[in-house]
Structure 1
Amino acid sequence: MTPPTSSPSSNTTSTHSLPQSNAAGTASSHGSPSLASISTHQGLELEVKNLELLHFFTTTTSITLSNLPEQQLVWQQVVPKIAFSHPFLLRGILALSAIHLGRLHVERRSTLCPVATLHHTAGVILFRSTMPNITAENCDACFAFSTLLVIYAWSSSCQTGDLFFVDSLKTDGGTVEWVVLLRSCHNLLRLACTWLKDGPLRCLLLLQTEEPGLPAVPEIENSSKFRELAALWDTSRTHLSAEEAEALEEALAFLIEVHAFLSPRNRVVDEVGTTLSWPIRVRDSYIAMVSQQKPEALVVLAHYCLLLNKIDHFWFMAGMSKHLLQTIHQTVGKEWESWIAWPLQDLVLSEFKTQTGEKEWQQRTDGAVIY
């Protein structure tokens, strides 16, 4: 069927013709909104700064959150789509994007950091109200936000050492917010494990919800070094309760597993997710001992820096192992220095390799320029 034809005069009399604008840019048809009124209308106003942050997350930040291409694609495409239905996750994305953008553009850091803080604070408030009622519809958003929460905490910490406890030199102590939120969220997510494993973020789970331990082959040499720490909570030491000793023993066992899993082998693993699995799996009583700054717990935490060193190449972890270990060293004092000798030596060796690599790269670059 051919469409009906219009008479030449129909274009001038049709009630569906576009309104004509005058020189001032306002519509001449009665009741039609002007361009000015549309652009200033609160409900339609474009938040260009937030659009920039979302664009930066999808094009840049998302690619840096994992060393696995499959997970990078999920962070880039799937997570932002989920965030459109869950404002707390969208806030988390914008907050981390602002921090990352500020890292790359130092001249904008002073304006981006307050923006990041506002988005993060709003996201956490909304997230706290969602956590008590995790469902099949919101569990993926909660899981993604909990991961962003940790990365934000690390990347916005100004490279201080109080990642797991508040520095006693600054405050009266206590556990930092991200530790509490992360552990609480993952305790609840265990109930949603079936939903998560069948959901769009299943490739991000890996170790976080798997029980029991990691499928890793223990390293004989390193395991023996770790096992020497058990002497700290030997039954002859009466100042530690049996429950505290068990918590330390379990934390050490998990540390051995994760360290072995991250060791070089013929397969690629999720470095960030694997490293994050340790603070999730340890007992609440161990976290309490860290908050109380008990030396035995801090010595074990110092050996966690061996794992953090392995992911130092991620922008949000750069230098964090060093600052955490320095804070622990200052807290426990000379008396305990021999117990953290291995992490200290590993840190020195890592810094030497980094400096040597930078010098070699500079020499090759200089040579290429001269040539």
Structure 2
Amino acid sequence: MTGAGASQNRRPPRLNHKKSRAGCQRCKARRVKCDEAKPACGGCNRHNVPCVYVVNESPRTGSNEASLSPHTTLPIDQLQPSFKVAVNQVPTPPTINDPVATDDLLDLPETRQRRLLELRLWHNYVTVISVPFQPSSSTAILPQIWNNHMPQIAMRHDNLLYIIYALSATSLLRNAPEDAELLTAQRVYLSLALRDQQKALAQFHTQAEEADALCFTSILMTMNAFGSLQERVRHPYHPPTDMLRLGIGACAVYEEALKSARKFPSSKIVTFIENQPFFCSIPRMFDEEHRGPFVGILGPKNAHGVYEDSELWNTDVRQAYEYTLSYIGTMYTAVLNEENLHQICTRIAAFALFVPKKFVDMVEELRPRALVVLAHFFALATKGSAHWWVGQTPMREVQGLRRIVPLEWQRHMRWPLVMSGLEPV
């Protein structure tokens, strides 16, 4: 998928949506209208997820009802204890898909605890996250970008600074999943990063560093989205479509900013992509040759070269499957060629950036073929499990997909299960 074809299949960044100030946290985070049903609203009930309503413990003057003003400003050390949360079931840890509603946040005031928390998050970034996976002479510039250039840009651009904090909190939560301060920081800084990314896009003046900040923020958002899947509840199982949709929106921002960045020789994002095989292969990534190993998922064609399965007679549907399988095919080739961990993880993170919107729609509809294709992606993603933000997530997602794929499609799950190590060869 290249050029106009790629753009048509991707969702643009969501900037204006209906809001419900009295709605639940999930609907606010997703920016959809909440029907405010109790104990669980219609949207949460339909997706079988916890429904959370947040109220302030201090009632408004002249009213017996408690509420949280959209203009309330709270220090980060007060966010957790200042809320009374009512849930209709045991709440799950907040993730990339469940940020704090941005309507409820303004700039966080300075406190000593906030400074110490941000120092902790920054230290984790420079000592853990920015450490190169397998440096080599061909990628010697990448550690410089991660360790030096990206932090310098973040000091002047809050969208990048806040997503670094959110990603660092996600990293630290791997070893401290019950840490309330980190859980709050993960949600707060993600929300602030999303807010400031939108502001930066609206005020974009096509300067090199602005473009770099927008692009790097988009990339880190996809890493954070994948990393946040590790602790999500998978019983009952629902495919992680929120993560994929965030990637589609991030891709629209990334591509727009990259066009401007290419005009400046000093651009760090251009240097970043020109020194990685994955980005250099993008123009031919969606060619037919790459999906060869997986064409069996699409089924046979008749004598006229038309797929026999009527689902594929729709052009948009067929292309969404073909493009996605081509991308997965490039991942498979990379695994066979024993690409290093850094490059494999780049391909894993970029899947959410380049997957067609129509494919995500079909996953959300639980179409069997779409679920099988997604299982193949996660099976290959297990090859990046040595890195913290990938971890055991791919294997667990394959297990979950196995449970919901219909019996008549289970034969197509054999390869993902073997590739994930869940079944013997």
Counterparts of residues 1-371 of structure 1 (less than 5 Å): 47-63=115-131, 70-104=141-175, 106=176, 109-134=179-204, 135-136=206-207, 137-160=209-232, 175-176=242-243, 178-192=246-260, 194-195=262-263, 198-205=266-273, 206=276, 207-208=278-279, 211-214=282-285, 225-231=293-299, 235-240=307-312, 241-265=314-338, 270-348=343-421
Distance in 2 (alpha carbons) for counterparts of 1:210 and 1:195: 21
- Please tell me the residue identity of whatever aligns with 1:140: D
Aligned to 2:84: none
Deviation at 1:187, TM superposition (A): 3.5
Letter in 2 for 1:332: V
Q: Which residue of 1 aligns with 2:29?
A: none
Shift in CA distance, 86/244, structure 1 to aligned 2, threshold 3 Å: same
Deviation of 1:44 after TM superposition, in Å, equals 9.7
Structure having greater relative contact order (Cα 8 Å, sep ≥ 6): 2
Distance in 1, matches of 2:195 and 2:152, equals 21
* Post-superposition offset of 1:145: 1.0
- Please report how far the alpha carbon of residue 82 of structure 1 lies from its aligned counterpart in structure 2 after TM superposition: 0.1
* Distance in 2 between residues matched to 1:142 and 1:80, nearest whole Å: 14
Q: Is the 8 A contact 1:98 1:113 kept in 2?
A: yes
Q: TM-score, normalized by length of structure 1?
A: 0.69
**Cα deviation code 1:277-326 (max 9, x no counterpart):** 33333322222222222221221111112320111110110011112212
Cα 1:247–1:262 shift into 2, 3 Å: same
Structure 1 unaligned spans of 5+? 1-41, 354-371
Q: State whether residues 54 and 97 of structure 1, in contact with CA within 8 Å, keep that contact through their aligned partners in structure 2.
A: yes
Q: In the TM superposition, what is the alpha-carbon distance from 1:79 to its structure 2 partner? A: 0.7
Q: Which structure shows the bigger proportion of residues in helix conformation?
A: 1
After superposition, the Cα gap between the structure-2 partners of 1:178 and 1:123, relative to the gap in structure 1 and judged at 3 Å, is: same
Q: Is the 8 A contact 1:84 1:90 kept in 2?
A: yes
Could you tell which deviates more after superposition, 64-73 or 334-343?
A: 64-73
Query: Which protein has the larger Cα radius of gyration, Structure 1 or Structure 2?
Result: 1
Contact 1:99 1:116 in 2 (8 A): yes
Q: After TM superposition, give the deviation of residue 49 of structure 1 in Å.
A: 2.1
Q: How many residue pairs are counted as aligned between the two chains?
A: 301
CA distance in 1 between partners of 2:337 and 2:311 (Å):
39
TM-score, structure 2 normalization: 0.61
Counterpart of 2:229 in structure 1: which amino acid?
S
Cα RMSD, aligned residues only: 3.6
Distance 2:264 2:380 in 1: 26
Q: Which is worse superposed, 55-64 or 310-319? A: 55-64
Is the 1:59–1:76 contact (alpha carbons within 8 Å) kept by the matching residues of 2? no
Q: CA deviation at 1:196?
A: 7.1
CA deviations over 1:112-140 (Å, ceiling 9, x no partner): 12112111111111112223454233111
CA deviation map 1:233-254 (0-9, x unaligned):
8632223412211221122122
How has the CA–CA distance of structure 1 residues 294 and 145 changed in structure 2, closer, same or farther, with 3 Å as cutoff?
same
Q: Distance in 1 between matches of 2:342 and 2:128?
A: 21
Cα–Cα, structure 1 residues 320 and 158, in superposed 2: closer, same or farther, change >3 Å? closer
Structure 1 residues 122 and 210 mapped into 2: Cα distance closer, same or farther (>3 Å)? Answer: same
Q: Secondary structure at the match of 1:231?
A: coil
Q: Which moved more, 1:131-140 or 1:118-127?
A: 131-140
SS of corresponding position for 1:47: helix
Q: Could you tell me how far apart the structure 2 residues matched to 1:181 and 1:196 are? A: 24
- Structure 1 SS opposite 2:179: helix
Residues 173 and 179, structure 2, Cα contact 8 Å, conserved in 1: yes
Tell me if the contact between 1:175 and 1:291 (Cα under 8 Å) persists in the aligned partners.
no
Residues 1:293 and 1:108: Cα distance change in structure 2 (over 3 Å): closer
Change in Cα spacing, 1:130 to 1:253, as seen in structure 2 (3 Å) is same
Assess, with a 3 A threshold, how the Cα gap between structure 1 residues 225 and 47 changes in structure 2: closer, same or farther. Answer: same
Which residue identity does 1:291 align to in structure 2?
E
SS in 1 for 2:374: helix
User: Is the CA contact 2:134–2:340 (under 8 Å) kept in the aligned structure 1?
Assistant: no
Cα separation, partners in 2 of 1:59 and 1:215, compared to 1, 3 Å: same
CA contact (8 A) 1:154 1:317 kept: yes
Residue 131 of structure 2: SS of its match in structure 1?
helix
Q: One-letter code of the match for 2:118?
A: N
The one-letter code sitting in structure 1 at the alignment partner of 2:379 is L
- Whole-Å separation in 2 of the counterparts to 1:257 and 1:78: 29
- Cα separation, 1, equivalents of 2:153 and 2:247: 24
